[in-house]
Amino acid sequence: MEAMSTSVPIGTALTAGTAGTAGTAGTAGTAGAVGYAAVAAQILVVVAGAPLLTGWMRQVRARLEGRAGAGVLQPWRDTRKLLRKESITPVGTGPAFRAAPALLVATTVVAAALVPLLSTDTPVSSHADLIVVVALIALGTFALALAGLDTGTAFGGMGASREMTIAALVEPTILLSVFALSIPAGTTNIPAIVSGAAHEPARLASPAGLLAAAALAVAVIAETGRIPVDNPSTHLELTMIHEAMTLEYAGPDLALVELGAQMRLTLLLGLLSSLFAPWAIATSGSWAALAIALVAFAAKVCVLAAVLAAAEVLWAKVRLFRVPELLAGSFLLALLAVAASYFLNGAGS
């Protein structure tokens, strides 16, 4: 069953840290210029595409709700406007407050570089560990929560508190999903998982794959702060979570925070699509494959986003203290996924 059977001493796994620097090619080998281009494209498509995706979702929602909508480009316009404004530092905030937006964006960018959104054959694919990606995303949450507390206002603390609670509860689901996904692949390396799934589509249709997909979908919703966990468009203190943390941001900082949130959404939807719909992702270093992958990526993510937007129209936000129930459900799904993957896919193989 194992896709890879190379024997790696743990010492090597650790020493890779000293030897491997950003530029060195990993084990995947053949990545040339196309590989670098793929990484750049991944980053670019996430950074540039994120506002568009948000715009697209808003547009879908607007249409479903019978409104005209502001257009797909509106988030871009907002971002541009905010970036041009002056930087404002609220009194009494410190370095954490100022550094958090950049860190949020940075974690997402690094994650975007790692996740095989377009290609599994990139210079960094050997570093693309699923746990690292999850942790990077959590790091962004961590930074933002600290920033929320740094303001010293009730809103900031409230948002941070709620956000960290949800983040803590999401964590088991995500890692169990990772576990479920890594069982057939024998690794937590995302490119390996993705290419394995692409070569063997039966994995995805298995109960394990479906359960893991469902679990991860809930986790993604929670991580990105979408309905029913959080409502990104509310500023009502009783309900807001993410927005409460970022209430004090203005100008370019706010632009970064919003961009970061949009990028996370894009990235996570992309990750979902890569994991569960790995078709058309470039597995070799050809320009054509990369182009196809780009188009396919856009299509997959747009479909997912549309589904999400549609769901948001139909659902209501649940109460904060009902969220754990939702997450417990997703945890159960993930656990079932692991069990299914172990018992159905040949125990002890």
Tell me how far, at minimum, the Cβ of 74 lies from other proteins, in Å: 18
In the range 287-326, which residues lie near other proteins by CB under 8 A?
Answer: 320-321, 324
Query: Using the rule CB under 8 A, is 272 a contact of other proteins?
Result: no
Nearer to other proteins, 83 or 307 (CB): 83
Tell me how far, at minimum, the Cβ of 10 lies from other proteins, in Å: 5
Sign of the dihedral defined by the CA atoms of residues 7, 174, 246, 303, in that order: positive
Query: Using the rule CB under 8 A, is 258 a contact of other proteins?
Result: no
Give Cα separations from 325 to 21, 216, 319 (angstroms). Answer: 42, 15, 10
Query: Using the rule CB under 8 A, is 346 a contact of other proteins?
Result: no
Query: Using the rule CB under 8 A, is 70 a contact of other proteins?
Result: no
Nearer to other proteins, 160 or 289 (CB): 160
Helix (H) or strand (E) holding 211: helix 207-224
Query: Can you say how many angstroms the Cα of residue 128 is from the centroid of all Cα atoms in its chain?
Result: 13
In the range 166-195, which residues lie near other proteins by CB under 8 A?
Answer: 167-172, 174-176, 178-179, 182-183, 186-189, 192
Query: Using the rule CB under 8 A, is 42 a contact of other proteins?
Result: no
Tell me how far, at minimum, the Cβ of 149 lies from other proteins, in Å: 3
Q: How many residues bind other proteins (CB under 8 A)?
A: 111
In three-state secondary structure terms, 73 is coil
Kindly indicate which of the ranges 65-73, 95-103, 221-229, 302-310 contains the residues binding other proteins, using the contact rule CB under 8 A: 95-103
Phi, psi of 214 (to 5 degrees): -65, -45
Helix (H) or strand (E) holding 134: helix 130-150
CA dihedral 60, 274, 335, 127 (to 10 degrees): -130
Distance (Å, whole) CA 294 – CA 313: 28
Query: Using the rule CB under 8 A, is 236 a contact of other proteins?
Result: no
